[in-house]
Structure 1
Amino acid sequence: MGKVRKRKPKPSKTVNNATANDAEEEELPVDNKENVIQTIIDQLQAADVEEKYCGLQTFAMLLESQESLEQMINRGLVKMVAPLLLDPASSVRNAAAGSLRNLSTVGHEMCDVLMEQDVMTSLIFYYHQYTESWIPDPTSKNKDDFDTFVQCTNLLLNLCESSELAVKYLGDSKILDIFPKYLDLSTFGVDIVTAVMQCLFVVVEDNPLATERVKNSSERQLKELLLLEDNDPSALLIKTLAGGVIINMCGGNISILPVDVMNQIIATLARTLSLDHRLACNQLSSNVPLSNAVGKVEPPKGKEGQVLENQIKSVLQVLDAQQSAIEIIANVCSCDDADDCMEGPESSDSDEPLDEDSCSNGEGVLLAEDRLPPELLEGLISLEIFDKVWARTQLPPENVLTILKEYEGTQLIYKKLHNLQTRALLCINNILLNLPIENLGGVSGVYKIWAAAGKLVFKQNSENLNLLESATAVMRAALDKIKLKSNEKGNESNLFSELALSDIELMLTGIRDCQEPEIRSNLIRMIGILALLLVSNLNETSSNVICTITDFILDQAHKENEVWVLAEAVDTLVDLYSEDETDLLAAKVKLVDKLAVLAPILKNKARQQKKLPKEYKVLVTTANSNLPRFIKYKKARLSKL
């Protein structure tokens, strides 16, 4: 959201003369680099507009080098660039805004640096000084002020996404009182309205004070934007964002919205996700210039160049709109009270193992989908939202991706495609928890989802850790869904009845080699659920698989450094062996003795690692509480064998 293609330096004799060798910058000796940085400092502090502009352009170019970036930060250049957002010259403000916005896209850590370097103060003063009464002049050829507003708003968005302190500073400023006038599409155009909407989408989430201010000033405008009649990518992006802001203003609780507004939002999300992002990228790749015989790429110029630029912008709008739509759907399907059923049994003093059916509506398990508003559930099903989100997990063909990655003008599209895939998988995880299995293609349909996610995890050797985490979360949720269905009488699934040791070796190797605790946790839970699904169809093969998985999880638990992942492993074993049919297997693997050794290890690690996020603390507390009771319960049963 809000991260757009890096601006190219404007042609300037001053810039060209001062930076003639910048293309070879990374080959410069260290002392030359230091000289260049000192030159930038001198230029930024000069009184002459061209000098300052030249310094900003060189600063922007050196951002490409990690070494130079670190040197510039250490020399305090960010603190020198930020005040130039308030420079009297519009070209200087524009160059400062573009370079700082580009810097904010590097990552959350860089946004932390920007906050530490007090960029937020200058940014707030920019809005107070230059935007309270500004209205663009449609006859002016100088678009610096227009572009500066967009760049500053995207910078503000990135800082607020990364820092709660930035959100606080924003709330203490006049910015939320200034933004409403910039929602006038006829006056300010698509780019400015989109930038403001993207920022509001983030800022009002879980922020009652911001919500109240925006609601009082902008509720009517937001509903008007939601009802735009156009369905081109730019309009769908604005309509999608309007729906997202409206939902966030009601605390994410879509059920309190009027039914007609809810239906309009869901229909907008469905329309946005109906755009074929893969086809759009395929068509774009056909127009992207390729490298010539000497390996150089010549960007098209004139009318042809403008056509390509417009096509790139349109594809970016499609991807931004679809990512926003997916985030909205993921949020409304997050079902925060889904863990309510777990709270009661955890504090019980009973020696009996936890029973999944203990939380019921009088007719069995209280299904997660029962918590979604009926109108929302009906909309998700009738508009085939699941299929539309799943389609976003599919990337364009490899040759198309290569073309997009190699051309500078489309590199951001390449990045956004992978971000969209990851967000779509996280959304699929939430939808799996909330849609009836019958609307997901039944058990076989969910199994296909599990298998497809497994290919992403185990067969692509992906270095994208965010993708791996989201894909393993989908695998885990899919097996949970299948397990829940198989627990119903007459619904035992035989999908995994023929599973052999050779089939799970790839998974076990993947867990052993996994360095990321979140991914490791998902995979441990997943193979535990897999073992549990085999319990209903015990034979020699399935028993061997269950024993192998048990030994593996126990071995991993002893090696585990993160207490919450250790707790996940313990909880997985407790779930697996709470079934009475597993008593003989428990005796075979000496489960009780091995868990008794693990119990004090878990308790000690819990004492050592007290600073954990809330959800991890709950997991660790639950495991610590349940393990002694489970050992006592299972020991009593095994003594009767």
Structure 2
Amino acid sequence: MGKSRTKRFKRPQFSPVGSCQAEAAATANGTGDEEDDGLAAELLEKLQHPSAEVRECACAGLARLVQQRPALPDLARRDAVRRLGPLLLDSSLAVRETAAGALRNLSACGGFDVCDDMVAKDIMTPLVALLRECSSGLDSNEMSPQEKADKKRNSIESIANEAVNVLWNVCECSSRAVSIFNKEGCLEIVLQYLRRFPTSIDLAVSVAYCLQTVTEDNPELLKSFDGTALRVLESALLCPVTSMEYILLKTLVAGTIWNLKDIIPSKSQAEIINAILNTLSEVLGVNAGDTVIQMKEAETQRLKDAAESEDILANANGDGEMEFQDDEMEEIPHKRKLRRKTFISDLLPSTDKELREAMALLTAQQTALEVIVNMCCSEDPSDDEWEELSSSDESEAFMENSFNECSGQLMSPLCLSHEIHSALTNCLIPKKVFEKTSSPNSDAVDICSKNPTWKPLIRKMSTIQCRALMCLQSLVSLLDIDHLGGAPALQTLAQHLSQLLFSQPDFAKHADFLEAISSALRALLQTMASKNIPQCMTPEQLMTLCREGIHSSSIGVRVNVVSILGITGSVLAKEDGTLETLKTIGCFLLEVTTKDPSLVVAGEALDALFDVFADGEEAEKASVQIKLLAALKEFQPVFKMKMRKEGRARYSPDQLCVLDNVKMNLRRFIAYQETVEKRLTS
């Protein structure tokens, strides 16, 4: 697998506040394109209104409207970005915040094209100016503890948080934005914000996300990191954990420091790598399922206490205007009932502290797994895992049963430095990753499924399992088996993965899970085969996986299952009494070779055939009985024709290189099979 980049996280979108709720609600409940068009025009017109309150409401309405994908083209046509941009520097702090929130949602919902368009329309100029002003405003307000509650200071922090999120979004999607970030000295500004992590954790987390994005593959920015900047990151990395949000902050900072590894002095490399992996190990060591359960129980108790306090106050005042049933208390935080109904897309309202804590932990664990994968993978990214695979032997020794020696290589040779290798094992990373591959805690899933606002955590827990499986793939491929616990540990792991897979009768319906677990199984079985460790999947299980997986719409899944079949078949080919199983495998691979619409999958299936039928008496008998030679001779010109017609249009140069190699090996394998068939039939 190539370099696995940090994924884009779906974070809470901006929530309009105050007197704008009614207008934002109307926006959220829009019913048709024509209404949206009219509403967009009306809201954009109000951005120029002399009243700050009207401008604020218009920005809040737009913050909701941009979340409706059909509205985006109309907003672009009406030049929404150019109209919103100046409001980032509006005289009203409330307008600044809602304008930044609207742009945050636009950049988050619109994706790469919208972000590029925002940069082209010069959103960076007012955005950078706003970030500078907020920085100055916060720095000039060193207040006493009582003054820290001042609304203006809190408002500046909220504006800065929204602005940093806009900056993060556009930099994640636009190289031009990253270039402007570098040239405008934005690093110094956001580091000033990061310094505030002891009192402004929300802002610090947003900055950490942004820094992790802009420091990736950005050598120009790395030159700006001096000792002072690194000390800011170090301070955040070593901060005491007082909430799950601080765990998330430390994890993001660890990912940022990893991106800066090229500028860290060699004498400090081991120390820094150990600090990073210690942080990630601590994050992965937290039991997420138990934490989710504890947080939900804490929320339930808090809401019950709040309801009781409200009842006491109401009775004392003779006012019983609000009454809540127990199930409402479970589902809807007190005093937020109207907003919860109106703003259904609010993922993490600020008062839902327990939900925020649980989500922060899960996001931290997902991020930790992704950083570990990045640490394990080569520096030469590849968009297609299969590019790394091929029977690539060029020598004339091919005919002398060289298939087993040259094929079945799961990944291109990757090297871990001694420091990373030692830190991974010393910090017990393989053990922690293995634990995260288990299915999500059923009690936690059950609790979350009963509450609409907690349901997104179910998806998050499943994502962590998939990330752990992909991380496991990297570790199994890179570490010596002794560092993985030896042969018994690998066999236990194989049994664990098989149980995970086949305990879900509908596993084929879960595309992400199937791709992740098939990748992990493929790496594990390859490692076990290379060390002559007995494999644990039964032929029946193997064929069940392959028959389900080959119908997946994911090319990655289809490549994985035929590769698994090739790995297992090559092992069985050396054993006695496997003739019927080899015939089943051969027929399956032939069908994939000739019928799969993707040349990538067909090429992998050919490689698997080369592996299975390259050696062994049982394999030779099976190849003759399934008429492998005749089938391949018939397919050879078809394969060449498809490569000529589809090659350059559909596949990358690297893929074409591998396909050319497969084409050459097919010719040689046919020649080899001719000698086998002649010998067995003579």
Does the pair score TM above 0.5? yes
CA contact (8 A) 1:351 1:632 kept: no
- Report the counterpart of residue 17 of structure 2 in structure 1: 10
Instruction: Give unmatched runs, 5+ long, in structure 1.
Output: 360-364
- State the number of aligned residues: 617
| TM-score, normalisation: structure 2 | 0.79
- Report the counterpart of residue 636 of structure 2 in structure 1: 599
- Report the counterpart of residue 647 of structure 2 in structure 1: 609
1:499 equivalent to 2:539? Answer yes
CA drift of 1:314 comes to: 2.2
Which one-letter code corresponds to 1:35 in the other structure? G
Instruction: Determine the C-alpha separation between the residues in 1 that align with 2:660 and 2:623.
Output: 24
Which one-letter code corresponds to 1:238 in the other structure? L
Structure 2 residue aligned with 1:201, among 193, 212, 225? 212
1:134 equivalent to 2:136? Answer yes
Structure 2 residue aligned with 1:417, among 438, 461, 484? 461
Q: For residue 603 of structure 1, give the secondary structure of its aligned residue in structure 2.
A: helix
- Report the counterpart of residue 517 of structure 1 in structure 2: 555
CA drift of 1:415 comes to: 4.1
Structure 1 residue aligned with 2:583, among 547, 550, 556? 547
Question: What are the superposed Cα offsets for residues 16-36 of structure 1, whole Å, 9 maximum, x if unpaired?
Answer: 2x456556x25x355444432
Which one-letter code corresponds to 1:227 in the other structure? L
Structure 1 residue aligned with 2:252, among 241, 250, 270? 241
Mean CA deviation greater in 551-560 or 114-123: 114-123
Structure 2 residue aligned with 1:478, among 514, 520, 524? 524
- Report the counterpart of residue 446 of structure 1 in structure 2: 493
- Report the counterpart of residue 330 of structure 1 in structure 2: 373
1:435 equivalent to 2:470? Answer no
CA contact (8 A) 2:434 2:472 kept: yes
| TM-score, normalisation: structure 1 | 0.84
Question: What are the superposed Cα offsets for residues 150-193 of structure 1, whole Å, 9 maximum, x if unpaired?
Answer: 22323333333344444344334332343333332368732223
Which one-letter code corresponds to 1:545 in the other structure? T
Which one-letter code corresponds to 1:94 in the other structure? E
Identity %: 23
Which one-letter code corresponds to 1:176 in the other structure? L
- Report the counterpart of residue 556 of structure 1 in structure 2: 592
- Report the counterpart of residue 536 of structure 1 in structure 2: 574
- When residues 238 and 519 of structure 1 are mapped into structure 2, their CA distance, relative to the original with a 3 A threshold, is same
1:258 equivalent to 2:304? Answer no
CA drift of 1:10 comes to: 0.7
- Report the counterpart of residue 341 of structure 2 in structure 1: none
Instruction: Determine the C-alpha separation between the residues in 1 that align with 2:231 and 2:439.
Output: 38
Instruction: Determine the C-alpha separation between the residues in 1 that align with 2:12 and 2:388.
Output: 46
Instruction: Determine the C-alpha separation between the residues in 1 that align with 2:276 and 2:234.
Output: 10
CA drift of 1:68 comes to: 4.3
Instruction: Determine the C-alpha separation between the residues in 2 that align with 1:155 and 1:355.
Output: 53
- Report the counterpart of residue 362 of structure 1 in structure 2: none
Instruction: Determine the C-alpha separation between the residues in 2 that align with 1:267 and 1:618.
Output: 41
- Report the counterpart of residue 110 of structure 1 in structure 2: 111
CA drift of 1:293 comes to: 8.9
Question: What are the superposed Cα offsets for residues 346-378 of structure 1, whole Å, 9 maximum, x if unpaired?
Answer: 44455436455569xxxxx99999933344333
Mean CA deviation greater in 52-61 or 306-315: 306-315
Question: What are the superposed Cα offsets for residues 296-321 of structure 1, whole Å, 9 maximum, x if unpaired?
Answer: 9432349xx99963322322332232
- Report the counterpart of residue 674 of structure 2 in structure 1: 635
Instruction: Determine the C-alpha separation between the residues in 2 that align with 1:442 and 1:396.
Output: 22
- Report the counterpart of residue 278 of structure 2 in structure 1: 267
Instruction: Determine the C-alpha separation between the residues in 2 that align with 1:255 and 1:625.
Output: 45
Which one-letter code corresponds to 1:157 in the other structure? W
- Report the counterpart of residue 196 of structure 2 in structure 1: 185
State the superposition RMSD in angstroms: 3.8
Question: What are the superposed Cα offsets for residues 317-360 of structure 1, whole Å, 9 maximum, x if unpaired?
Answer: 3223222221221112224589999899544455436455569x
CA contact (8 A) 1:180 1:217 kept: no
CA drift of 1:638 comes to: 3.0
1:144 equivalent to 2:184? Answer no
Q: For residue 134 of structure 1, give the secondary structure of its aligned residue in structure 2.
A: helix
Structure 1 residue aligned with 2:362, among 315, 319, 323? 319
CA contact (8 A) 2:115 2:173 kept: no
- When residues 255 and 314 of structure 1 are mapped into structure 2, their CA distance, relative to the original with a 3 A threshold, is farther
- When residues 397 and 76 of structure 1 are mapped into structure 2, their CA distance, relative to the original with a 3 A threshold, is farther
Which one-letter code corresponds to 1:208 in the other structure? P
Alignment map for 1:282-431 (pairs within 5 Å): 282-288=293-299, 297-301=331-335, 309-335=352-378, 345-348=392-395, 350-352=397-399, 354=402, 357=405, 371-398=415-442, 400-401=444-445, 403-404=447-448, 407=451, 409-431=453-475
Instruction: Determine the C-alpha separation between the residues in 2 that align with 1:537 and 1:252.
Output: 52
Mean CA deviation greater in 613-622 or 418-427: 613-622
CA drift of 1:536 comes to: 3.0
Instruction: Determine the C-alpha separation between the residues in 2 that align with 1:609 and 1:191.
Output: 49
CA contact (8 A) 2:574 2:616 kept: no
- When residues 505 and 494 of structure 1 are mapped into structure 2, their CA distance, relative to the original with a 3 A threshold, is closer
Mean CA deviation greater in 238-247 or 581-590: 238-247
- When residues 419 and 212 of structure 1 are mapped into structure 2, their CA distance, relative to the original with a 3 A threshold, is farther
CA drift of 1:203 comes to: 1.9
Question: What are the superposed Cα offsets for residues 561-588 of structure 1, whole Å, 9 maximum, x if unpaired?
Answer: 2222222222222222222442222222
CA drift of 1:89 comes to: 2.6
Instruction: Give unmatched runs, 5+ long, in structure 2.
Output: 1-7, 304-323, 337-347
Structure 2 residue aligned with 1:225, among 227, 236, 244? 236
- When residues 204 and 29 of structure 1 are mapped into structure 2, their CA distance, relative to the original with a 3 A threshold, is closer
CA contact (8 A) 1:429 1:477 kept: yes
1:95 equivalent to 2:98? Answer yes
Instruction: Determine the C-alpha separation between the residues in 2 that align with 1:201 and 1:88.
Output: 32
CA contact (8 A) 2:373 2:471 kept: yes
Instruction: Determine the C-alpha separation between the residues in 2 that align with 1:330 and 1:252.
Output: 21
Q: For residue 482 of structure 1, give the secondary structure of its aligned residue in structure 2.
A: helix
Which one-letter code corresponds to 1:483 in the other structure? A
Which one-letter code corresponds to 2:536 in the other structure? L
Instruction: Determine the C-alpha separation between the residues in 2 that align with 1:251 and 1:621.
Output: 36
Structure 2 residue aligned with 1:585, among 622, 635, 638? 622
Q: For residue 515 of structure 1, give the secondary structure of its aligned residue in structure 2.
A: coil
